[in-house]
Structures are given as structure tokens and as C-alpha cells.
């Protein structure tokens, strides 16, 4: 009862605030997304994502070395596939000498101990820009998960530590787990995009990879932003099917989902601070409407406080540099 209890006593100065702080951000919290393109000597800024880049394999080496020097130990690889290699079945995704497979090997050779996670979905390889095989304007679930399983094995053969299916097809986690087991990759993990919403926040990412859907939208397989209980069902199914880590995407607008999953399930929970979230902070800071570093740090702390064990963020390098 006031005045015996004064909460401000523990806010009096920076030292005591640090002493009683409930959550701490470290480099171990982060998963760094990396965009890879064909070519040589390419470090190309993404217009809608200021200060973030697409890398060819040679500049990827430099970037990975920098991440390692900063204490960042986990990366998530995405590839921008040339249009002439795209088709409806994502055939290029299974190419043992494809861009993803070469990127995995390049990163592994550069930093053998870094954790390599890989995007598993058809949209970068699809002539339709969708996450699955298309027939008569519909996304075909069961044929798609067969390809995703083969893709995951191909990534594991190249040296991936964890595959990250982002497609939201039903049953894909079990299909991938069984395929990995059958091929002897029992130690390759799965980070499932369990609660991936059909969000308007993905725009800059699709620009980065040229992977926007060629028709319609992704609402028949990604989740309705209105739904909370559905996220719990999806997560429970993925865990039952063999997911090692579950992810919520996007991040900031879905902190309630992060917290509920963390409370309900005893598995690591990842969250993805997506391209639209990054772009909004960058744009507002550029106009002088927000303090870039303060908002960046507050947004990351919000993920940690909500219960995220892993934070995929384009701000990872900036955060660690600021902390150090």
C-alpha cells in the first residue's frame, strides 16, 4: 500500500533498472535473413528495404564473416531465382547445383559452425509465384508437399542444419520429417512457420525475391489475421508432426499469438519481424518522425518480452552493434 510500496524506487537510475530488468537481448536471440542472387560481385540494395541487400555468393562470404564476427550465429537463406528457371512444379528447387544448394555450401565453407536454416517453399521457384503447385487456379496441397519433402532433403544434402517450411500446406511437416529420416538426416531440424498469416506486411520481401503471386492472393493457405484459436491448432499439429521450432509471422501485430503459443507449448518459439515492419520503421525514421534506434530496440524487446526464443530480424546487425 502506498507509500510503503513505491514502484519508482526500482526505476531511479540506469544501474537499478538494469539490475531488475526481466529480459535481456543478446546475439544468441537472432536469426539473420539473407537474400542470395546469381552473379558475381553483387551487393544490391533492396529499394523498399533501405540498407538491406541481395548478395551474390562471393559477397555473401563477406557478409557471413561479418555476422560471425558480431556474434551472430544463425542465418536463414532465401534465393532469388531467375525467371527462366521457374515453372509450376518448382523443378529448379531440386537441382543439386541450384542457387540455394550452392549458397548453403558457401556459407558452410565460410563458417562451418554457423547454423544454416533454409526457406522451403515453392514461391521463389514458381512461375505463378505461389507456394504450391497450381492447377486450374487452385493450389494443390498433396502434390506440393511431396516436392517440399524432396527440397528439404536436397538442402540437408548440401549441409543445412534446419529446414524452414514457410508454405503453409497441410501435412508438410510430417512429409518432410519422414523424408529426412528415410535419407538418414535424423539430426536436421525443422523450424515450421506454424502461424503464418496472410498479411499485408510482406510486400518488400516479395520485391526482394520477385516472388509476388502472379494471380489472386495466398489466403487459401496462409492464415486469416482475425484468427487466434486456429494458430493454436496449426502449432499443435506441426509439433505432433515433428517440428522442432515453431514460428509466428509477422511479428509486431501478432504478439498475442507469440505469447499464447509460448504459454501452451514446450518448444522454442520463433518470431519473424517481417519486411513491412522493417520498412515502416526505416521510413518513419527517415522522415524524422521516430527515433530509429530507440524504436528498433523497443520492437525487438517486445518480441523477447512476448516470449520469443528466436527473433528473425533485418535489424539484427544494427541491434548487436548498438548493444556493443
Residues known to be catalytic: 196, 249
* β 138-140/133-135 pair status: antiparallel
Please state, in angstroms and rounded to a whole number, the distance separating the CA atoms of residues 201 and 253. 10
Please state, in angstroms and rounded to a whole number, the distance separating the CA atoms of residues 173 and 265. 17
188: which 3 cell numbers?
Answer: 536436421
- Please provide residue 272's backbone torsions phi and psi, each rounded to the nearest 5 degrees: -115, 115
Distances in whole angstroms, Cα of residue 274 to Cα of each of 25, 281, 313: 19, 11, 7
Q: Report which of 275, 269, 280, 277 is spatially closest to residue 304, judged by C-alpha positions.
A: 269
Mapping DSSP to helix (H, G, I), strand (E, B) and coil, where does residue 250 land? Answer: coil
* β 269-273/310-313 pair status: parallel
Please state, in angstroms and rounded to a whole number, the distance separating the CA atoms of residues 62 and 109. 12
CB 248 within 8 A of CB 201: no
Query: Any idea what DSSP says for residue 218?
Result: S
Does residue 250 have a cis peptide bond before it, meaning omega lies within 30 degrees of 0?
yes
- Please provide residue 167's backbone torsions phi and psi, each rounded to the nearest 5 degrees: -85, -30
Distances in whole angstroms, Cα of residue 256 to Cα of each of 231, 252, 279, 281: 11, 9, 22, 21
181 is in an annotated binding site: no
Mapping DSSP to helix (H, G, I), strand (E, B) and coil, where does residue 177 land? Answer: helix
| Binding site, annotated residues for Mg(2+) | 234
Amino acid at each position: 500500500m502506498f507509500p510503503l510500496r513505491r514502484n519508482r524506487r526500482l526505476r531511479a537510475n540506469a544501474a537499478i533498472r538494469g539490475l531488475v530488468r526481466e529480459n535481456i537481448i543478446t546475439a544468441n536471440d537472432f536469426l539473420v535473413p539473407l537474400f542470395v542472387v546469381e552473379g558475381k560481385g553483387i551487393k544490391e540494395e533492396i529499394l523498399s528495404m533501405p540498407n538491406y541487400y541481395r548478395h551474390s555468393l562471393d559477397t555473401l562470404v563477406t557478409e557471413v564473416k561479418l555476422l560471425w564476427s558480431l556474434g551472430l550465429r544463425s542465418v536463414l537463406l532465401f534465393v532469388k531465382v531467375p525467371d527462366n528457371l521457374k515453372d509450376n512444379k518448382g523443378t529448379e528447387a531440386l537441382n543439386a547445383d541450384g542457387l540455394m544448394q550452392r549458397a548453403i555450401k558457401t556459407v558452410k565453407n565460410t563458417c562451418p559452425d554457423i547454423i544454416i536454416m533454409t526457406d522451403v517453399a515453392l514461391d521463389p521457384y514458381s512461375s505463378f509465384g505461389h507456394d504450391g503447385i497450381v492447377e486450374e487456379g487452385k493450389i494443390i496441397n498433396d502434390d506440393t508437399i511431396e516436392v517440399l519433402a524432396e527440397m528439404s532433403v536436397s538442402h540437408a544434402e548440401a549441409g543445412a542444419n534446419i529446414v524452414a517450411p514457410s508454405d503453409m500446406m497441410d501435412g508438410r511437416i510430417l512429409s518432410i520429417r519422414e523424408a529426412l529420416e528415410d535419407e538418414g538426416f535424423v539430426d536436421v531440424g525443422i523450424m515450421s512457420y506454424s502461424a503464418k498469416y496472410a498479411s499485408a506486411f510482406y510486400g518488400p520481401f516479395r520485391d526482394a525475391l520477385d516472388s509476388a503471386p502472379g494471380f489472386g492472393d495466398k489466403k487459401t493457405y496462409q492464415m486469416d489475421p482475425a484468427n487466434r484459436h486456429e494458430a493454436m491448432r496449426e502449432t499443435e499439429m506441426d509439433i505432433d508432426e515433428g517440428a522442432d521450432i515453431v514460428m509466428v509471422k509477422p511479428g509486431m501485430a501478432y504478439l498475442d499469438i507469440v505469447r499464447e503459443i509460448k504459454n501452451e507449448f514446450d518448444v522454442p518459439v520463433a518470431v519473424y519481424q517481417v519486411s513491412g515492419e522493417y520498412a515502416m520503421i526505416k521510413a518513419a525514421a527517415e522522415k524524422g518522425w521516430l527515433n530509429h534506434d530507440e524504436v528498433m530496440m523497443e520492437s525487438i524487446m517486445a518480441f523477447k518480452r512476448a516470449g520469443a526464443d528466436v527473433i528473425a530480424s533485418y535489424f539484427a546487425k544494427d541491434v548487436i552493434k548498438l548493444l556493443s
